[in-house]
């Protein structure tokens, strides 16, 4: 939980005080508590703490543990590094058994305060549903952090959005046999239940067959779990205002199909529905914030499993748009699902702009690493808007090109188009985007390949712990708010 106070009291069990090297160099510290001011100033005068990056020093004053956290030189401090430093401090042994902590920023600019919110809500998140705790573990899991800053609507909104990020992470981190397509449908219904101005359309297997979602259904052929396409229409704006649409890839588990993924590549594939989870997280936040916009939130949810009915390399299927696709590889399945959903959303709901989010290619991870999504678009204005929201929210994205010659790389000799490049190992992220590009027509469209930043397969990365990051929720909400 986060609370805001206009002034530090040092009456809680602990306080985390952020100090730059320049502030430490003045050898003075002022606070509402004379005892704290004197104790910290004494430490600074004795040069026992110099404000170096990541430096921590505890001072006990009356019944309060005051921990100084060095931020290094202010001119070298970024909001990203601030999030990392504060996360590490909050998770340190100093605060392990403490439930209430005051967090005192080095200054109270909006960017700094919102970074502290990120550090607390996103940074200290951990998926522990299936951990059986030992009785002797005295860690206080639920902490209240009192940020010393006057509460305003922007800060309250930042908390709401970050809570939606963690909601998305819960969906991704859950077992794949729990988070099925039907579960995601139920989740969407629960988010909108009792809300006005919101409608939902759900396409089950029978309706998908009737509407000829041949590509999506091909991917799901080997699964015992039912597929779903879910489209939520959020009508917060004026009646005649156009929709902006978000479409998420929802592979609830991806074995690779008959082109089976090897060990080391399959273990985290419950995260292959991160795009759908981001869409649901954004929906949750938009409802809570009551944004006055018209938005489509859509996803296609299937499982790419293996049995005697699995779709096969060399097969040809026809999708909703009437375009035939040769299957060059069954592990290039996400683009098939997205192609049908994107085609349907454009045809039926006619959005003014469409953004898709998908853990689409390993090639994008090779090119950009794990901290940036790949951004590809057919529209300069939309690409600029997405880039601006990526920078504002730290859901980072880097523009990759879409160019005419890519069309030749996905040509097929037996169908209209092929689901992988006919030039092996070449431009994997961009040919995947070009495949999607061939289904959007003239609609302004942006594709976010989030395979890199959506999941942490290790102890931590940046200010995220192990598991899902909830990438895309903050970016989408910011994009919606800015119109």
Question: What is the set of active-site residues?
Answer: 261, 335
Burial category of 285 from C-beta neighbours within 10 Å (exposed 0-12, middle 13-18, buried 19 and up): buried
Q: Identify the three-state secondary structure at position 74.
A: helix
Q: What order do you get walking across the sheet with 417-418 strand by strand? A: 316-318, 324-326, 417-418
Residue 324's CB: how many other CB atoms inside 10 A? 16
Rounded Cα–Cα distance for residues 243 and 248 (Å): 16
Our measurement of the distance from residue 25's CA atom to the centroid of its chain's CA atoms, rounded to an integer in Å, reads 39
The first and second tokens of residue 182, run together, are: 């039907």
C-alpha 469/C-alpha 454 separation (Å) is 5
Q: In 10 A of CB 250, how many CB atoms?
A: 32
Token pair for residue 43? 């430490």
Quick check: 238 and 245 in contact, CB under 8 A?
no
DSSP states of 81-134: HHHHHHHHHHTSGGGTT-SEEEEE-SS--HHHHHHHHHHHHTTT----TT----
Contact 297, 279 (CB under 8 A): yes
């Amino acid at each position: 939980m986060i609370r805001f106070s206009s002034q530090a009291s040092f009456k809680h069990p602990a306080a985390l005080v952020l100090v730059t090297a320049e502030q430490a160099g003045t050898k003075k510290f002022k606070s509402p508590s004379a005892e704290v001011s004197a104790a910290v100033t004494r430490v600074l005068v004795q040069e026992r703490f110099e404000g170096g990056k990541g430096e921590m020093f505890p001072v006990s004053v009356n019944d309060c543990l005051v921990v100084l956290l060095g931020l290094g030189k202010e001119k070298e401090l970024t909001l990203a590094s601030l999030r990392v430093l504060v996360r590490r401090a909050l998770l340190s042994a100093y605060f392990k058994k403490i439930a209430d902590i005051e967090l005192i920023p080095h200054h109270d600019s909006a960017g700094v305060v919102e970074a502290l919110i990120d550090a607390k809500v996103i940074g200290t998140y951990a998926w522990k549903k299936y951990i059986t705790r030992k009785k002797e573990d005295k860690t206080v899991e639920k902490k209240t952090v009192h940020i010393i800053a006057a509460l305003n609507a922007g800060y309250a909104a930042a908390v709401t959005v970050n809570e939606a990020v963690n909601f998305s992470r819960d969906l991704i981190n859950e077992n794949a046999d729990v988070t099925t397509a039907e579960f995601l449908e139920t989740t969407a219904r629960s988010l909108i239940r009792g809300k006005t101005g919101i409608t939902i359309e759900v396409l089950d297997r029978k309706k998908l067959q009737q509407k000829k979602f041949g590509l999506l259904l091909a991917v799901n052929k080997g699964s015992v779990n039912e597929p779903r396409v879910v489209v939520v229409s959020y009508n917060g704006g004026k009646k005649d205002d156009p929709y902006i649409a978000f479409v998420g890839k929802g592979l609830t588990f991806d074995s690779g199909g008959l082109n089976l993924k090897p060990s080391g590549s399959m273990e985290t594939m419950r995260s292959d529905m991160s795009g759908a989870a981001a869409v649901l997280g954004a929906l949750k936040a938009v409802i809570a914030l009551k944004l006055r916009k018209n938005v489509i939130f859509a996803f296609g949810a299937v499982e790419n499993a293996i049995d005697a009915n699995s779709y096969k390399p060399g097969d040809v299927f026809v999708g909703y748009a009437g375009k035939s696709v040769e299957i060059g590889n069954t592990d290039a399945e996400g683009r098939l699902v997205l192609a049908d959903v994107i085609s349907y959303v454009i045809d039926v709901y006619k959005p003014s702009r469409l953004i898709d989010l998908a853990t689409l290619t390993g090639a994008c991870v090779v090119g950009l690493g794990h901290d940036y999504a790949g951004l590809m678009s057919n529209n300069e204005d939309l690409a600029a808007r997405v880039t601006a929201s990526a920078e504002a929210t730290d859901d980072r994205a880097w523009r990759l090109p879409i160019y005419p010659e890519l069309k030749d790389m996905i040509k097929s000799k037996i169908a209209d188009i092929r689901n992988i490049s006919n030039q092996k190992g070449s431009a994997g992220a961009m040919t995947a985007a070009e495949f999607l590009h061939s289904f959007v027509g003239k609609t302004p469209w942006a594709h976010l390949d989030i395979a890199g930043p959506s999941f942490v397969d290790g102890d931590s990365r940046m200010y995220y712990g192990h598991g899902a990051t909830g990438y895309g929720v903050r970016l989408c909400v910011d994009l919606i708010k800015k119109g």
